[in-house]
Amino acid sequence: MSIEVKMPDFGGDAHEATIVAWHKQAGDRVASGELLVEVMTDKVNIEVVAPAAGVVTAILHAADETVATGAVIARIDAA
């Protein structure tokens, strides 16, 4: 089963965030709750964790890219 990892909704007036660094790459195994990527808005830095255990199958946005909230940024195969 493929799980989509989305850019979190930060509430307020933050409608996008910049990817700071990926801690996992495509092909890496990840545990549920494990740090996947760091993102930042103009006000805060956020650590996004894996929503499920599995293998990262796709990284859809590179570091330094600015991405809208709700956009899919990665996929995990939880099979």
pLDDT at position 4 is 97
pLDDT tens readout for residues 4-55: 999 999 877 889 999 999 999 999 999 999 999 999 998 889 999 999 999 9
Place of tokens 């996004």: 48
Q: What is the pLDDT of residue 69?
A: 95
pTM of the full predicted structure?
A: 0.92
CA-CA-CA-CA torsion for 61, 65, 70, 71, nearest 10 degrees?
Answer: -40
| pLDDT at res. 44 | 87
pLDDT at residue 12, as a whole number: 78
Give the domain 2-77 fold: OB fold (Dihydrolipoamide Acetyltransferase, E2P) (2.40.50)
- Domain residue ranges in the chain: 2-77
Q: Do the Cβ atoms of 74 and 56 come closer than 8 Å?
A: yes
**The amino acid at 52:** A
Name the nearest CA neighbour of 3 among 45, 46, 48: 48
Residue-level pLDDT at 29: 98
